[in-house]
Chains A and B, each alone.
Chain A
Amino acid sequence: MTLMKTFRRLAAASAIALTISGAAQAAEEVTIGFTGPLSGGAALYGENTLEGLKMAAKDINDAGGFKVDGETYTINLVSLDDKYSPSQAAVNGKRLVQQYKSPVIFTPHSGGTFALQAFNERDGFIVMSYTSVPAVTAKGNKLTVKIPPNFTDYIEPFSKITMERFGKKLAVANATHDYAKYWTKEFVPAWEKLGGEVVSNNAMDYNKSADFYTGVSKALSANPDVMFIGGASEPTGLVARQARELGFKGGFILMDQAKIDEVAKVSGGIESLEGSVGVVPLADYDTKGATQFVEKYKKDHKNVATSETAYNYFALHLIAQAMQEAGSVDDAAKIRAAIPAALNKLPGEFNPYDVHEISAQGDLNADPQIAEVKDGKVVLHRMSELKK
């Protein structure tokens, strides 16, 4: 009786095993890796970036996959949580390469990117880095692609707009994490070069402060015309709100991590951000691809689409296109070399930001837009126009 049972179980188990392996043979899969913060304070940001990848993978798989060399491939997205920690990102990266044979790994932070760059050329995978820190591509890593524009591109136009409107005295009151420090380091000399003066330099830990009244009142005691603030959108909104409560009448320069529309939700409406400059919220972007993406996002989501979702959505479509151009799903160098050709062929609906070229170093370039809050409305400027 027990023997019979064992046999039956064995038969069932082998039947299941056969079906699984059979299914795997029918459609080839290419595994795309992701390591980013999926828990802890940056969980929302990590999930937003991952959501873009998920949407692109769904697009591709629903269309029946893509053809490389006569074989049809679908995308298998494997996401691992690194809690924003570079060392955990490196561990995840190793796992994605060794266990899942992933030829491409996405990561939404500079720390993770640097950690993966320690072994990506040797292990043969592309790092798709969603960070606007220029250093990730400046080091000459051949298999790194930086998805968003360099943050340094924003500095001059941001400074000029606010300096002309409000005055030359600047208070620095942004966050203290690495990315914010990069910004301050580049921003302060640029502001001074344009003839401005930094009257107060009082960065605050946006993630570990229970309250910003102290820091903001310190920044305001120097009577600045413009405040440079920013970290994650919501704490930035709190800082802006408290600055207004404490009587600040000037303009804000928002570090690009903060999105004007999300900041406004916390700070008390767009009127409270009068005179602010920042990056353009995706919903206000006036390219065709952006409008299509926002519509598409609305169908399955309750909240509003963010730029990190849109950029990562674009980036995975780009990789799939590049694999087709390269005729390979596992040779990272070939895939990287095929990206310029893939950019030309990628349909506009997958490219919300009109990214049009990739530099030899691996920077994807677009013509970003800049938002200014004027008379309670968001006004758009094109970077290329401001530079003239």
Chain B
Amino acid sequence: MDLFFQQVLNGLTLGSIYGLVALGLTLVYGILHVPNFAHGALYMVGAYISYFVMVDMGLNYWVAMIAAAGVVALISVLCERLIFHPLRHAPPIHDKIAAIGVMLFLEAVVQMHWGADFRRMPTPYTSILHFGDITLPAQRLLIIVAAFSLMGLLHLYLKKTMTGSTIVAMAQNREGAFLVGINANRVAMMTFAIAGGLAAVAASLFAPINLVYPAMGHLLLTKAFVIIILGGMGSIPGAIIGALIIGFAEALGGFYISGTYKDLIAFALLVFILSVKPTGLFTKGVR
């Protein structure tokens, strides 16, 4: 039974990180209507900024996280202004190509500046909690708590505030949003900023139990794609539930079925869910 709860905790940790990354991806999807391939690179840049602020400048972990969120949000907004906004009337394939270009550019810049080596980011929370036979390092607990509080905050923001509702409105119906006088530029910039910030926070949370290197975003991005397809493109609850499904599938499937095939289990689940509900779990007729 302890082993089971250990896996549940592992699944929660993974699910929280996947969730934060997938949320950003799904929000931006509402604006771009194509998946933003550069999202994984933003996540990676977030990890490097935290690493830089914390290790090279010697500042506090939380300061590093906020700095990373700020910088990446800014980069994300710049991408929107300089690249995706001018392409808004172009066919969707142009957005896709541009996003891949941004991804390659960011990776190359990071590799040029920091090199290809693996780096390790320290954490101030090194204690390990034990509940019977269950092991839970403090950093993992922090990931779960922080990720879910952020998701909660985001939910409140989108549902309860006017600015939040404009984002949802844009995602649901672009023309309709224009008709009621929503300023599309402002909403697009805000969405990109939130998505970038979430990715950077996810990276800063996850980096201390993982490694920091230029290709670190690829893996998270593929997982996040699966999650938003599973949950329904553009759906916020879909991204959260999808992330938890994939996190638990990896943890429990990896433990009870086969570690070698744990990704296979996640993808088999995707095939199954899509054949039952082809638009994803939570789509409400949004494109």
Contacts and interface: CB of A to CB of B under 8 A. Distances in A.
Interface size class of A (residues with CB under 8 A): 20 to 34
A215 B120 contact: no
A41 B215 contact: yes
B135 A214 contact: no
Interface in A279-337: 303
Contacts, number: 82
Contacts of A215: 254, 259
B60 interface: no
B259 A202 contact: yes
A273 to B, nearest CB: 15
B135 A246 contact: yes
B255 interface: yes
Interface string B259-270: 110110000000
Given A210-B223, A303-B117, A266 B259 contact: no
B280 to A, nearest CB: 22
Contacts of B210: 210-211, 238
Contacts of B254: 214-215, 218
Given A217-B3, A221-B3, A303-B117, A211 B259 contact: no
A218 B252 CA distance: 10
Contacts of B115: 44
Interface in A187-245: 202-205, 208, 210-211, 213-215, 217-218, 221, 232-235, 237-238, 245
Given A210-B14, A210-B220, A245-B135, A43 B255 contact: no
Interface in B214-257: 214-215, 219-220, 223, 250-251, 254-255
Interface string B114-139: 01111010000000100000010100
B215 A265 contact: no
Most chain B CB within 10 A, of A43, A213, A265, is at A213
B116 A245 contact: no
Interface string A262-274: 0001100000000
A266 B118 contact: yes
Contact of B219 (A39, A40, A176, A208): A208
Interface in B169-198: none
A214 B10 contact: yes
A214 B262 contact: yes
B17 interface: yes
A47 interface: yes
Given A208-B219, A215-B254, A245 B137 contact: yes
Interface of A: 39-41, 43-44, 47, 176, 202-205, 208, 210-211, 213-215, 217-218, 221, 232-235, 237-238, 245-247, 265-266, 303
Interface of B: 3, 6-7, 10, 13-14, 17, 111, 115-118, 120, 128, 135, 137, 206, 209-211, 213-215, 219-220, 223, 250-251, 254-255, 259-260, 262-263
20 contacts: A40-B215, A43-B215, A44-B115, A203-B259, A205-B260, A205-B263, A208-B219, A208-B263, A210-B206, A210-B223, A211-B13, A211-B14, A213-B251, A214-B254, A214-B259, A217-B3, A218-B254, A221-B3, A234-B213, A266-B118
